[in-house]
Structure 1
Amino acid sequence: MTSLETASIPPNIAAQLPNINFGFDELKERMAKFTAAFDDFIEKRREKALEARTAFARDLADLNDNQKTVKKNIEHYEQEEIKIAANTEKEIQETADLESEIATIKSERSSRQSENETLSSQIREQSLATQKRRQKLLEEKQALASQANHNQPELAFWEDYLGLRIEGAGRLDHVRFIFTVIDERDLEREFEIVLSVESRDYEIIGARPKLDEATKQRCLDALNETRSIAKFLKIVREEFKNIAKK
């Protein structure tokens, strides 16, 4: 209603008009809380994934080294036994020396076998430790899933009021943001952008419709400088709106 139209309404009627509260302050507050929770969730998830990959690679390398050592020792013993068998037909004068050498080698083999048993025991212990780590990772994954379920009401609020949907993008450290209600000619038309959170500086993996490099860089600069997902999404949505108008 224009100021002229309002001025034409008698004062007693204008006072009776309802004061409509669209809840923009509440929406802004809820969006800020969700952004903080989302940034914290992504950061923790990335840290846990990096820790898990590092621990698994280290454990696997240790197991491979132990297995190589055991195999090398076994091959060494087999070669020594072949040499002993080949020397059994030598001259009688060397028999006593050979028997003494055989006894020494057998003693060393017994000692090596004891070492192998120790290594095998260590491998089993390492395997149990690896299983415990995997169980811990599973528990942490379930905890993250529980947190994600907790965030569903906020996600539903964003989807209902802003036409935004957040999905995975095929990798643990990739997130897809899907917008609707942008193109006035087709409110169901989807606009999407995929964001990588693998490193501290975010990276845009792809967008549909395609954004030019200057636009993507402007969006990334705003995100990496402010660390505000809400501001980033607002800028991206405006860029998609400009595309939809063309």
Structure 2
Amino acid sequence: MSSLASIRTVSSEGVEVPSLIVNFGELQNRMDNFRSQFDEYLSSNKEKIVESKNEFNLTLSKNKETEKSLLAEIESLHQKDVENAKLRAKEQEELEETNRAIRDYSLKREQMTETQKTLEKQISELRQSILKMKESHSKIKQTIIQESSKNQPELELWESTLGVSIEGVSDDVIGFKFTNIDPNAADREFSCVMDLSERDYKVLSTSPALNGLIVDQALTSLNSSRKLSLFLRDIRKAFKDMV
């Protein structure tokens, strides 16, 4: 039976107006029934709601842990990136230093190569100069030999009567030996060693030692005149004067 019923009434103007008749008892029952069903619904879904809430909280907690872990991983990656950046900068610096060392080595090598070429050129020029000098000395020596051969009768006379002999000591060095100087020892030897390796001859030694000034004067005369006989005469006289 419906809780609402309609009754038609006629107003004073002759218009029919519906009116409602409410069955409050039935309406209350229906409301109680709805409340009961709603409570049943809430009761039946409460566990699901609590379970969903717990699951949500668990998921939220896991998400926070995941977030924390991700943040830590991000920080670790950031630190690694910083370290890698430092490592790359160090490697770049070492590479640049190596390149500088290679450039310096290449430059020094080029300089050494140029220096070597210069030295080789100087050595070649020096060898040529030495060769020319040797040729010149050879010519000078040959001149002395030729002069000696021209004066051979005089030298033979000196060797036989005055006791002067010439002998080779080494390359470009000759020696003169004098005897018949000391009246008390005719066989006593007096010697003079001369270096012919340069244009101006040098007396390396005399035995016994002569006065340096006398030797220099005799040598100067020889280098200017190239007359060996005069030099031997002056040296013999110097030896004789000291006896």
TM-score range for the pair, normalised by the shorter chain length: 0.3 to 0.5
- TM-score relative to the length of structure 2: 0.42
- TM-score relative to the length of structure 1: 0.42
- Which protein has the bigger strand share? 2
Larger Rg: 2
Higher relative contact order (CA 8 A, sep 6+): 1
